[in-house]
Structure formats: structure tokens, C-alpha cells
């Protein structure tokens, strides 16, 4: 990675993303620095997933730039960006259901030859249960277990920046808390994170900074602690 | 963040202290522990290569055990179908690309062999040269077809490839005077509807393959080699990538897989195998016609793949074997008749519970038949003067029970429509009304069989194979050897 501590790992500059004629992201700018845990909050259909798709190159913005470690990758393929150190835990996890846990992990390291023993050790160290379940079909796992496979799969690629799309979706409250503990743990180990969430409470409690998105525009940004005290945000998202 | 390439994540936590998220005790104790699950697990423990070798060894003995050239010929055809299903398994089974133009690649391989080893152009290359050329050319053709369609998915890909398949048949059927984009003089490239005759047999180093038995062994060796190659690819990174692409293209893309390249490779790999099968077809038959490579053949190969279980290599063998041998057995009307009545009986026994319902429906149908037969024989005697579809005691019983017109014709077609309506009627009814309605419907089915279907065996055997497929797919939707689809809910 860049030796220059001032260059953010990821930077979006005035990004405009469209689906056909529909303007979704409108002049969106944000950044994530090495080692940071940043959350991107927003209600349904506010453009959170679209932001992640733009970062990964699944959709290409009409204006603006996506930069990884200072390099403009706006026109680059998804695989290029992943080689540069991105990985994602997609919305609804999107595991390969008829494949085993082990095969799912291998697919996470597809661009790295299927993963080294070290990669597997790292992931199994974090999720011992995945080791026990390595030959079980991913589709037969419970929601919490699937979440672990999805995170493990993403971590197999040794990402510098891990994108997470609504990790709390569909999990029981106790599992949500445990999930965020793991997220924090991974972040403490040095992986920068951009966590997209509707659940502002939990995500702000572990994040360094946060952005709030509303119909494709940023409406608030700041330190996590400050956002937690913000009146508007409280009313809109924290429900107290 | 540190300079190290891989961030050090915390060591394996002490398991006792970590809450075991999502461990469902019931699932943990029951997953895969049913009787059938156990059997499947034990079978899946046997390396599949072992099964393939066993198959190869048994198949190698077929020509030794029988001197009957017809049986060996059916064996050769079956091996050819296995090879075709193997290629389709890559495109459809692994990569999930619905390729409805697949059979055109088979035809292209056959015609390429024919053009390079026949008097058509006076070219007589050695087989060892023609086969690689034909295979590579077919792979390239597959690549070119897939190139514009690679962004097309699902239904669109199916339509584009179907169009390509029809284009192939049309072009080759009308290729007796072709010029290259109007630049060259007109040449007879494909022989048009007359095809290309007098194709050279396989020959190399002065030796020729001339017997069906010889071709059987060539096909067996080629199939085993292709099977082994696909087996290796299946277990490679590319093989797994194809499967993940089939399951969830977006997730595959999110993992950084080169989705388009993977599709192109799967498409042309499948095409290449079809082309290889085509060369053997051309050499054994010594003539090729475009009509051989049309939709009916495509449907048969798909039936084999689906029956065996798309995505399963063992399924390719089993599916091709069952479908092709059934088609051969049903060629004889006598066999077809027995299969028809046994299928009817088996379905009734399997579906009608409890026993008294089965007894009522069967007894009712037999009684109903005698009554109808008695009434009709006095009212319209021509309807009992025909003969049954089989001989023997069963045939004479049928003649005294079911109606047999001495000249079934338009009336027969009318009866067929009536049968379809009756089946639809039975399906809309429920309870005892449905069971009662089944009695005349079953009788009608028997009459239609005796008067209409058995007269046209070529259509009938396809219908029967279709029915067998439907029955089997109801019992095992994933195919005989396929893995059950797991849905994430
Ligand atoms: N592939 C697509 N084509 C057209 N519109 C889309 C597509 N994906 C998302 N959208 C629309 O873009 C908006 C933002 O979607 P998304 O980014 O998925 O929202 P969020 O993740 O915040 O719930 C929604 O109105 C959605 O309907
Ligand atoms: Mg979303």
C-alpha cells in the first residue's frame, strides 16, 4: 500500500451514478483511510448498495472518480479493483448455496489462486465453526453461520478495505451484536472497513466515522460520537 | 495499517468462551444422517474415477460378449450420445448457459470431417490431422457464437442460440451452390439436401477402421479420455468458477471472476466436444445430411442431460444409456405396447392410495371396458373388427376388451383430442369424482393407444420417452445423479 499516509485508501469524488435514465447517486464524495471503520447509513433505497457497486465497478458512474490509494480506477474492471485490495460481503450474503463452505471460501480467493493454507488458517482462526462445517453445503447453514461464511469468503482475498452491505439484515438481535463484535475485531487487525447499514445504533457504536445518505445525496457526515448525538439523525434513524 | 501484505487477524479464540453463533443443534445432529443420506454419503466416498473405470471396463466387454452387430451399433450410438451429453454438461450443467444451438456444433464437426476426408473436394487427409482441425474449428465457431451472446443471459441466449442452430441447418441444406460473399465462383460446398456421401473411414498409418466394432472401441476410448479431461476441469479452479457463475453471476462478479471469459470458454469447450462427436458420426455413417443435426437430436441430448442430472458426470453416462436404450427398445411396437401398459399400471399403483381406491379404479376400468365393448359390438361392429397392437394372450384379451377399429383414421385423431380433454378434466376434479372420471379416461387412453399411437411408432416412442422423463422428474427433480438444489431462504 501507499507509504504516503495522507492518501486515503478509497476516495469517491463527486460521483453521479445512473441506472438508465434514473439518477441515483448525486455528487457523492466520501473517503476511507487505512485502518478506519466507516459506516454509511441510509434508509431503504437511499443508494447504499449502489455506492458499493460503484466502488467495485459493477456500475460505472457518469461523472466523478473512484480512487483506490490515489489511483483513478473509475474505468477499471471489477477484477482489477479486487486485486488492488477490495472485497465485499454482499447484501443478503449471496453465498454459492450448492457448494460447500470450503468451496465458498476458495471462491473468495479466486484471484489469488484459491487461497493459501495461511489464508484458511486466518479465516478458521476467526470463525472456528467454519472449520467444523467446511464440507457442509452453504445453503443448508443457518443465517448466522451464513454470515460467517460470507465474511470468511471476503477475508480470503486478504483485503485492505472490506465493504459490507447491511451485515445485520435478517439476523436475530443477539447475532447482530456478535456480528459487529467480529467486524470490530477484523478492523482492529488492520483491515479498513466501509459498513453500509440501516441500523445506525449498532454501527455508530463501533465506527470511527459515519456518513448519512438520503436519496443518493450525503446529508450528514462526521465522527461517530458526534453523529450519535445529532438530533436529526436521532429522530430519523435512532428512534429515540 | 502495517506494511505487511496480510493483516494479522487474532489467533483462534478459545472456543469455550465464544458464543457459538448460529449453531442449530438439531441441524448439527441431523444433517445428512437419514438412511438415504447415509447411503449417499457412503457412495460419494467412493472416488468417482473408480466408477468411470468400472463403466469403461464393462463397456469394453460388450462387443466381446455379443456378435450381434446391431447391439454393437446401438452401443456406438450410445457412446456418441454420452460424448454429446458430456459437452452439453459443460455449457448447461456447469456454466448454466442455455445453449439451444448445441447440436449445430455436432453437425459442424461432422461436416468438417466430411469435407476434409471425402471426394467432395477431393481432399483425403489423414484422420489424425482431420480430427484436431475439426475440433479446433468447432471450438472457434463456438467462441464466435458466444462472443455476441456473452452478455445475453437466460432466455435471450436461448433464443440467439436456437436461431444459430436453425441457421446452420438452413445453410448446410442449401449449400450446394455457395460463393463466399459473392466473391468466388459458385461451389458445391455441402451437397445441399443430398448431403456429402462416400466419406473416408478413420484411417492412420495405413490402417483403416471399417467395422462397427472398431468404431465402438474408438468411441469408447475417445469418450473415456474426454470424460477424464472434463473430470479434471470439473475439479479445477475454472470448474468451480463455472458452478458459482451458474449459481449467482453477480456474486461471481463480486468475487472478481472474469465472468465473460468463463462463459466463452465453457461455450467453446462444449462445442469442441460436440465437434469431436461429429467426426465419429461422419466416419461411421460414411454420409452426412444436415437434417441429422436438427432439433430432434437436440431434444434427445437435453433429455439425457436432464434425466442424468445436469452438472453430474456420472449422470451423463446413466442418462445417455437409459434414454438411448429406451428409444431402441421402443422401436419395436410390441415392446412399446408393454411399456405403455406397464407404465400406466405402475403410475396407478404408485399414486392411488389407499388400496381400495386402486381396486375401484382398476376394476372399474376393466368392467367399463367390457360394457362398452359389448354395447359397441352390436351397435357399430367395425369398431371391434381391428386387431390388437400385440399378439399372444394379452393381445386376444385386449381385442375382447378395448375397441379396435379396422381402419382407424380421422376418428382416431378425434379420439386423441378427446383423450387430452379428458385428462385435463380429470386434473381439475378432486376426491371421488376424480377417481370416477379416471375410469373412462383410462379406457379412452387404451383405445387411443390401440388405434392411433401404435400405428405411428416413431412419434409414439418419443411420446413414451417424454412420459418416462416426466414420471422420473417427478420422483427426482434434480435428475438421477444430480445434487438437489439448495435454496438459500
Ligand atoms: N439494477 C437496477 N436498475 C434500476 N434501478 C435500480 C437498480 N438497482 C437499484 N435500483 C434503484 O436504485 C435505488 C437505490 O437502490 P440501492 O442502492 O439498492 O438502495 P439501498 O441499498 O440503499 O437500499 C432504488 O430506488 C432502486 O430501486
Ligand atoms: Mg441495499
Q: What is the average per-residue pLDDT within B60-81? A: 92
Q: Which of A49, A60, A86, A94 would you mutate first to test chain B, the one with the most B CBs within 10 A? A: A94
A170: left (phi over 0), alpha (psi -120 to 50) or beta: left
What cell was used for B108?
459442424
Contacts of B24 in chain A (CB under 8 A): 142
Binary contact (B244, A107; C-beta < 8 A): yes
Confidence tier at A1 by pLDDT (50, 70, 90)? very low
A118 in contact with B at a CB cutoff of 8 Å? yes
Nearest to B440, CA basis, from B454, B460, B426: B426
- Specify the pLDDT at position B32: 44
pLDDT of A239 strictly over 60 = no
Supply the DSSP string of B403-451, one letter for each residue: ---SS-SHHHHHHHHHHHHHHHHHHH--HHHHHHHHHHHHHHHHHHHHH
- SS3 percent helix, strand, coil of chain A, rounded to 5, is 40, 25, 35
Contacts of A125 in chain B (CB under 8 A): 9-13
For helices B333-351 and B431-451, angle between their N-to-C axes, nearest 10 degrees: 180
Binary contact (B9, A118; C-beta < 8 A): no
* pLDDT tens by residue, B296-337: 899 999 999 988 888 889 889 999 999 999 888 888 878 888
* pLDDT tens by residue, A121-132: 999 999 999 999
Cα distances from B162 to residues B145, B158, B192, B219, in angstroms, run: 11, 6, 21, 28
pLDDT of A152 strictly over 80 = yes
Instruction: Please tell me the number of the ligand nearest to residue A24's CA.
Output: 1
- Report the distance separating Cα B87 and Cα B76, nearest Å: 17
pLDDT of A102 strictly over 90 = yes
pLDDT of B18 strictly over 60 = no
Most confident of B36-50, B284-298, B332-346: B284-298
Q: What is the average per-residue pLDDT within A19-23? A: 94
Which overall architecture, per CATH, does domain A1-85+159-240 show?
3-Layer(aba) Sandwich (3.40)
Cα distances from B454 to residues A15, B336, B458, in angstroms, run: 70, 8, 9
CB A156 within 8 A of CB A109: yes
- Specify the pLDDT at position A184: 93
Cα distances from B129 to residues B113, B132, B199, B264, in angstroms, run: 10, 6, 15, 25
Residue A106, exposed/middle/buried by CB under 10 A (0-12, 13-18, 19+)? buried
DSSP class of B24: -
A37 in contact with B at a CB cutoff of 8 Å? no
Binary contact (A157, B247; C-beta < 8 A): no
For residue B13, give how far its alpha carbon lies from the nearest alpha carbon of chain A (Å): 7
What cell was used for B149?
451472446
- Report the distance separating Cα B116 and Cα B350, nearest Å: 54
Nearest to B266, CA basis, from B418, B117, B86: B86
For a pocket test of ligand 1, which of A44, A45, A196 has the largest count of ligand atoms closer than 8 A to its C-beta?
A45
* pLDDT tens by residue, B20-43: 444 444 444 444 444 555 565 566
Average pLDDT, rounded, for chain A: 90
Binary contact (A125, B251; C-beta < 8 A): no
Please state the three-class secondary structure of B77-131 as a single string. Answer: HHHHHHHHHHHHHHHHHHCCCCCCCHHHHHHHHHHHHHHHEECCCCEECCHHHHH
Q: Give all domains of chain B, ordered by start, each with its CATH number.
A: 30-329 (1.10.3470), 335-455 (no CATH)
> The pTM is what?
0.80
For residue A196, give how far its alpha carbon lies from the nearest alpha carbon of chain B (Å): 16
- Specify the pLDDT at position B39: 60
Instruction: Please tell me the number of the ligand nearest to residue A54's CA.
Output: 1
CA angle B105, B111, B116 (to 5 degrees): 130
- Report the distance separating Cα B310 and Cα B96, nearest Å: 9
> Ligand 1 — pocket residues by CB below 6 A?
A 19, 22, 24, 42, 44-50
Residue of minimum CA distance from atom 13 in ligand 1: A45
Cα distances from B409 to residues B334, B383, B412, B481, in angstroms, run: 21, 12, 5, 42
Distance between start and end Cα atoms, chain A? 41
pLDDT of B64 strictly over 80 = yes
Q: Phi first, then psi: what are they for B357, rounded to 5°?
A: -65, -45
Confidence tier at B147 by pLDDT (50, 70, 90)? confident
Residue of minimum CA distance from atom 4 in ligand 1: A19
- Specify the pLDDT at position B3: 41
What cell was used for A51?
455506492
* pLDDT tens by residue, B354-369: 888 899 999 999 999 9
Q: Where are the domains of chain A?
A: 1-85+159-240, 93-157
What cell was used for B74?
446401438
- Specify the pLDDT at position B221: 96
For residue B456, give how far its alpha carbon lies from the nearest alpha carbon of chain A (Å): 43
pLDDT of B5 strictly over 90 = no
Q: What is the average per-residue pLDDT within B440-465? A: 81
Residue of minimum CA distance from atom 5 in ligand 1: A19
pLDDT of A207 strictly over 80 = yes
Confidence tier at B228 by pLDDT (50, 70, 90)? very high
Residues 6+ apart with CB under 8 A from B371: none
Distance from the Cα of residue B357 to its chain's centroid:
35
Average pLDDT, rounded, for chain B: 84
Distance between start and end Cα atoms, chain B? 37
- Specify the pLDDT at position B331: 82
Residue of minimum CA distance from atom 26 in ligand 1: A45
The beta-carbon neighbor of A189 closest among B10, B251, B486 is B10
pLDDT of B12 strictly over 50 = no
Q: What is the average per-residue pLDDT within A181-191? A: 92
Lowest mean pLDDT among A73-82, B131-140, B379-388: B379-388
Lowest mean pLDDT among A32-41, A61-70, B184-193, B316-325: B184-193
For residue A232, give how far its alpha carbon lies from the nearest alpha carbon of chain B (Å): 34
- Report the distance separating Cα A66 and Cα A46, nearest Å: 19
- Specify the pLDDT at position B42: 61
- Specify the pLDDT at position B199: 93
pLDDT of B44 strictly over 70 = no
* Alpha-carbon torsion angle B473, B476, B481, B487, nearest 10: 110
What cell was used for B237?
479452479
The upper half-sphere exposure of residue B11, i.e. CA atoms within 13 Å in the direction of its Cβ, equals 1
- Specify the pLDDT at position A175: 87
Coil, strand, or helix at residue B454? Answer: helix
A70 in contact with B at a CB cutoff of 8 Å? no
Nearest to B340, CA basis, from B247, B468, B196, B440: B468
**What radius of gyration do chain B's Cα atoms show?**
28
Residue A50 alpha carbon, nearest atom of ligand 1:
17
- Specify the pLDDT at position B29: 44
CB B293 within 8 A of CB B103: yes
Residue of minimum CA distance from atom 18 in ligand 1: A49
Binary contact (A97, B487; C-beta < 8 A): yes
pLDDT of B2 strictly over 70 = no
Contacts of B485 in chain A (CB under 8 A): 97-98
- Report the distance separating Cα A32 and Cα A8, nearest Å: 6
Amino acid at each position: 500500500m501507499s507509504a504516503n499516509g495522507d492518501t486515503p485508501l478509497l476516495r469517491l469524488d463527486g460521483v453521479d451514478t445512473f441506472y438508465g435514465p434514473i439518477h441515483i447517486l448525486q455528487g457523492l464524495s466520501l473517503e476511507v483511510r487505512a485502518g478506519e471503520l466507516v459506516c454509511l447509513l441510509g434508509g431503504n433505497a437511499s443508494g447504499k448498495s449502489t455506492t458499493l457497486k460503484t466502488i467495485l465497478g459493477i456500475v460505472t458512474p457518469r461523472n466523478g472518480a473512484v480512487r483506490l490509494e490515489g489511483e483513478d480506477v473509475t474505468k477499471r474492471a471489477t477484477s482489477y479493483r479486487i486485486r488492488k485490495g477490495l472485497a465485499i460481503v454482499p447484501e443478503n450474503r449471496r453465498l454459492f448455496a450448492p457448494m460447500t463452505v470450503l468451496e465458498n471460501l476458495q471462491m473468495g480467493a479466486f484471484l489469488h489462486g484459491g487461497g493459501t493454507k495461511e489464508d484458511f488458517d486466518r479465516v478458521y482462526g476467526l470463525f472456528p465453526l467454519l472449520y467444523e462445517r467446511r464440507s457442509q453445503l452453504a445453503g443448508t447453514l443457518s443465517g448466522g453461520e451464513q454470515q460467517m461464511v460470507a465474511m470468511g469468503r471476503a477475508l480470503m482475498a486478504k483485503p485492505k478495505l472490506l465493504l459490507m452491505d447491511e451485515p445485520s439484515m435478517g439476523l436475530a438481535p443477539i447475532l447482530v451484536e456478535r456480528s459487529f463484535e467480529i467486524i470490530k475485531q477484523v478492523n482492529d487487525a488492520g483491515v479498513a472497513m466501509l459498513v453500509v447499514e440501516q441500523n445506525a445504533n449498532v454501527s455508530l457504536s463501533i465506527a470511527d466515522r459515519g456518513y448519512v445518505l438520503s436519496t443518493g445525496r450525503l446529508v450528514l457526515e462526521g465522527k461517530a460520537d458526534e453523529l450519535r448525538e445529532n438530533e436529526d439523525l436521532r429522530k430519523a434513524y435512532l428512534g429515540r | 495499517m502495517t506494511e505487511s501484505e496480510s493483516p494479522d487477524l487474532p489467533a483462534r479464540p478459545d472456543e469455550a468462551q465464544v458464543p457459538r453463533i448460529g449453531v442449530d443443534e438439531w441441524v448439527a445432529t441431523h444433517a445428512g444422517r437419514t438412511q438415504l443420506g447415509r447411503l449417499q454419503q457412503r457412495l460419494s466416498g467412493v472416488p468417482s474415477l473408480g466408477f468411470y473405470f468400472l463403466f469403461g471396463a464393462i463397456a469394453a466387454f460388450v462387443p466381446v460378449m455379443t456378435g450381434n452387430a446391431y447391439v454393437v451399433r446401438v452401443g456406438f450410438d450410445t457412446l456418441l450420445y454420452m460424448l454429446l451429453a458430456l459437452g452439453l454438461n459443460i455449457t448447461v450443467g456447469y456454466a448454466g448457459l442455455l445453449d439451444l444451438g448445441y447440436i449445430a456444433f455436432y453437425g459442424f464437426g461432422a461436416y468438417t470431417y466430411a469435407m476434409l476426408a471425402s471426394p467432395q473436394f477431393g481432399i483425403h487427409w489423414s484422420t489424425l490431422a482431420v480430427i484436431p482441425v475439426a475440433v479446433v474449428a468447432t471450438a472457434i465457431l463456438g467462441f464466435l457464437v458466444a462472443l455476441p451472446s456473452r452478455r445475453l443471459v437466460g432466455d435471450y441466449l436461448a433464443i440467439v442460440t436456437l436461431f444459430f442452430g436453425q441457421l446452420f441447418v438452413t445453410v448446410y441444406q442449401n449449400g450446394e451452390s455457395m460463393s463466399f460473399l459473392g466473391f468466388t465462383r459458385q461451389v458445391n460446398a455441402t451437397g445441399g439436401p443430398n448431403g456429402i456421401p462416400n466419406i473416408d473411414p478413420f484411417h492412420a498409418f495405413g490402417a483403416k477402421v471399417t467395422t462397427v466394432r472398431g468404431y465402438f472401441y474408438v468411441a469408447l476410448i475417445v469418450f473415456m479420455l474426454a470424460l477424464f479431461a472434463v473430470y479434471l476441469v470439473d475439479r479445477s479452479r475454472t470448474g468451480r468458477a463455472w458452478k458459482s457463475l451458474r449459481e449467482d453471476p453477480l456474486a461471481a462478479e463480486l468475487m472478481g471472476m472474469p465472468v465473460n471469459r468463463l462463459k466463452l470458454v465453457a461455450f467453446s469447450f462444449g462445442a469442441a466436444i460436440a465437434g469431436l462427436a461429429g467426426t465419429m458420426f461422419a466416419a461411421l455413417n460414411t454420409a452426412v445430411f444436415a437434417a441429422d443435426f436438427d432439433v430432434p437430436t437436440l431434444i434427445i441430448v437435453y433429455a439425457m442431460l436432464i434425466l442424468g442430472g445436469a452438472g453430474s458426470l456420472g449422470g451423463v453416462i446413466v442418462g445417455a444409456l437409459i434414454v438411448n436404450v429406451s428409444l431402441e427398445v421402443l422401436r419395436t411396437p410390441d415392446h412399446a405396447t408393454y411399456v405403455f401398459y406397464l407404465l400406466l399400471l405402475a403410475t396407478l399403483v404408485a399414486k392411488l392410495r389407499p388400496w381400495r381406491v386402486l381396486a375401484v379404479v382398476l376394476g372399474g376400468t376393466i368392467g367399463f371396458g367390457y360394457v362398452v365393448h359389448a354395447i359397441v359390438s352390436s351397435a357399430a361392429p367395425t369398431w371391434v373388427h381391428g386387431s390388437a397392437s400385440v399378439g399372444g394372450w394379452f393381445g386376444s384379451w385386449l381385442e375382447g376388451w378395448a375397441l379396435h377399429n379396422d381402419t382407424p383414421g380421422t376418428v382416431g385423431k378425434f379420439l386423441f383430442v378427446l383423450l387430452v380433454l379428458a385428462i385435463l378434466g380429470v386434473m381439475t376434479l378432486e376426491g371421488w369424482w376424480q377417481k370416477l372420471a379416471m375410469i373412462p379416461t383410462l379406457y379412452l387412453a387404451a383405445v387411443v393407444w390401440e388405434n392411433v399411437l401404435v400405428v405411428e411408432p416413431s412419434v409414439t416412442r418419443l411420446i413414451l420417452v417424454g412420459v418416462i422423463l416426466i414420471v422420473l422428474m417427478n420422483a427426482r427433480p434434480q435428475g438421477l445423479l444430480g445434487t438437489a438444489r439448495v435454496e438459500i431462504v
